[in-house]
């Protein structure tokens, strides 16, 4: 592996300066480079780096709004929103990784629709500190084409069913 030129090393330090480690991961030093949040030493070199600004990571897109009732009459939407439909199945995603949860959600939704279930509950949890990774990811996943074709309506659950840490899904009738 080739060594970085002084210009490339300086560019790397400038880019890495704004990067924070993932939560729960320790800061490490990699091959003599300073730890990511370590204070910089030495003067900034000029040259071909003049005017280069480090790119800031873009925040993830906001999840799609809940309470979407396209193609559902007002009475059905109101019953779903108020938790007045019988919940025919539940999926609890607590403790799963995003990959496991996405796979479980896809299987649960398609399996529930194939079994003729209409109203199901998906429990994401509230999340510990960051508002919940799955709580934000599940609504986005439900709007992906593979899952969207099975889901007719989505609503936040009532407190007795998990509140903002759970979703009611009204599934389309089986084919």
Of 24-33, 86-95, 128-137, 163-172, least confident by mean pLDDT is 24-33
Residues 6+ apart with CB under 8 A from 142: 64, 105, 109, 148, 151, 154, 167, 169
Of 10-14, 23-27, 115-119, 154-158, least confident by mean pLDDT is 23-27
Question: What pLDDT is attached to residue 164?
Answer: 81
Question: What pLDDT is attached to residue 61?
Answer: 53
- Where is pLDDT greater, at 115 or 21? 115
- Where is pLDDT greater, at 24 or 7? 7
pTM, full prediction: 0.59
Question: What pLDDT is attached to residue 29?
Answer: 54
Q: Round the CA-based radius of gyration of the chain to a whole number and report it.
A: 23
């Amino acid at each position: 592996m080739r060594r970085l030129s002084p210009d490339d090393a300086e560019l790397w330090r400038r880019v890495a300066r704004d990067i924070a480690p993932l939560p729960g991961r320790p800061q490490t030093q990699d091959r003599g480079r300073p730890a990511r949040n370590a204070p910089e030493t030495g003067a900034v070199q000029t040259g071909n780096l003049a005017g280069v600004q480090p790119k800031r990571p873009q925040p993830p897109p906001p999840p799609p709004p809940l309470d979407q009732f396209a193609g559902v009459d007002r009475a059905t939407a109101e019953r779903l929103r108020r938790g007045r439909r019988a919940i025919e199945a539940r999926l609890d995603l607590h403790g799963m990784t995003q990959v496991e949860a996405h796979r479980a959600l896809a299987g649960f939704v398609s399996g529930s629709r194939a079994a003729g279930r209409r109203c199901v509950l998906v429990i994401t949890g509230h999340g510990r500190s960051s508002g919940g990774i799955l709580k934000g990811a599940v609504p986005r996943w439900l709007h992906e084409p593979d899952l969207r074709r099975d889901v007719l309506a989505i609503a936040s659950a009532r407190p007795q069913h998990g509140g903002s840490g759970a979703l009611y899904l009204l599934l389309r009738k089986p084919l």
